[in-house]
Amino acid sequence: MGRTRNTVAAKISRAVGATCQFALLASLLSGTVSAQDFNDRRKVQFPTQVTADNPQRTPAVARKQGFAGTLVLTGGRIFDAVKSEAYPGSLVIQQNRIVAVLPAGSTDWPADATVMNVAGKTVMPGLIDMHVHSTYPTPETPADRQASEGHATLRALRSLQMLLENGITSVRDQSGPLEAPYIMSEWLEKDMAPGPRVFAAGHIVTGTGGHAADRPLTPIHSAAYTREADGADDWRKAVRETFKLGASHIKIASHFAPDEVKAAVEEAHRLGLKVTCDCETIYTAMAVEAGVDSIEHPLPRTDATIQMMAKKGIASIPTMQVYQGGFDTRGDYAGTASRRFSMNSQANFDVLKKMIAAGVIIGVGTDNINAAFYSTPNIYIADLKFLQKAGYTPAKALMAATRVNAQILDMGDKLGTLEPGKLADVIVVDGNPDQDLDALAKVETVIRNGNIVIKDGRLYVPRHVPTPLAKPSPPDTLH
Do residues 294 and 315 make contact, with C-beta atoms less than 8 angstroms apart? yes
Q: Which amino acid, residue 257?
A: A
Which residues lie below 8 Å from residue 259, measured CB to CB, with a gap of 6+?
232
Do residues 175 and 201 make contact, with C-beta atoms less than 8 angstroms apart? yes
Which residues lie below 8 Å from residue 208, measured CB to CB, with a gap of 6+?
228, 229, 230
CATH 3.20.20.140 intervals, the chain: 127-421
Angstrom distance (rounded) from CA 319 to CA 275: 17
From first to last of the 479 residues of the chain, give the pLDDT tens digit: 444 434 433 433 343 333 344 444 455 445 555 656 667 777 765 556 777 887 777 877 767 777 789 999 999 999 999 999 999 999 999 999 999 999 999 999 999 999 999 999 999 999 999 999 999 888 888 888 888 889 999 999 999 999 999 999 999 999 999 999 999 999 998 888 999 999 999 899 999 999 988 877 676 777 888 999 999 999 999 999 999 999 999 999 999 999 999 999 999 999 999 999 999 999 999 999 999 999 999 999 999 999 999 999 999 999 999 999 988 888 777 667 777 788 899 999 999 999 999 999 999 999 988 888 999 999 999 999 999 999 999 999 999 999 999 999 999 999 999 999 999 999 999 999 999 999 999 999 999 999 999 999 999 988 888 998 887 666 666 66
For residue 216, say if its preceding peptide bond is cis, omega within 30 degrees of 0: yes
Angstrom distance (rounded) from CA 164 to CA 210: 33
Which pLDDT belongs to residue 284? 97
Angstrom distance (rounded) from CA 59 to CA 53: 10
Do residues 194 and 161 make contact, with C-beta atoms less than 8 angstroms apart? yes
Supply the DSSP symbol for 413: T
Do residues 315 and 295 make contact, with C-beta atoms less than 8 angstroms apart? yes
Which residues lie below 8 Å from residue 364, measured CB to CB, with a gap of 6+?
127, 128, 129, 130, 317, 380, 383, 384, 387, 397, 400, 401, 404, 405
Which pLDDT belongs to residue 54? 78
Q: How far apart are the first and last CA of the chain?
A: 86
Angstrom distance (rounded) from CA 74 to CA 104: 8
Q: Tell the CATH topology of 127-421.
A: TIM Barrel (3.20.20)
Q: What is the pLDDT of residues 2-18, one digit of tens each?
A: 444 344 334 333 433 33
Q: By CB neighbour count within 10 A (0-12 exposed, 13-18 middle, 19+ buried), where does 391 fall?
A: exposed
Angstrom distance (rounded) from CA 79 to CA 271: 35
Name which of 263, 275, 262, 271 is nearest 174 in CA terms: 275
**pTM summary value:** 0.90
Which pLDDT belongs to residue 470? 85
Q: What is the CA radius of gyration of the chain?
A: 23
